[in-house]
Amino acid sequence: MNTLFWIVQSLVGVAFTMAGVMKLSTPYDALAEQMSWVPHVPAMAVKLIGLVEVAGGLGLILPSVFRIMPGLTPLAAAGLVLTMIAAAGLHISIGEAAHIAPNLVLGSLAALVAWGRHKKAPIAPR
């Protein structure tokens, strides 16, 4: 089980970190052309979402890798679950319910990590 959780948390962590870096580094107008939800959200909110995704993605990996406060890993995963719930809600509210599949998949995988690293296979601190 530990190996499964490492694989999932690494993949999800990298996915969120990359998505967040893209939101932080790409100009708002360019993001608006690539993602249909961006025009419905203020530019600072998009940057904040990117920051949350980077922090959550790194939080899935770094505390566990270095075994320094590894209890932060399930908390980061839970935060990303909430982020995906909010993202799905936004898609539904702007009439893009068909676009919530990535939110459901990433949110479910983050929930698996939250549960797994909290209950099933927690990582001991140094």
* Residue-level length of the chain: 126
Q: What is the pTM of this model?
A: 0.95
pLDDT along the chain (126 residues), means of 10: 96 98 98 97 98 98 97 98 98 96 98 98 95
Cβ neighbour number for residue 117 with a 10 Å cutoff: 27
Place of tokens 């929930």: 111
State the amino acid at position 79 in one-letter form.
Answer: G
Question: Residue 10: its pLDDT value, please?
Answer: 98
> Would the CA dihedral through 81, 86, 92, 97 be positive or negative?
negative
**Rounded Cα distance, 108 and 79, in Å:** 12
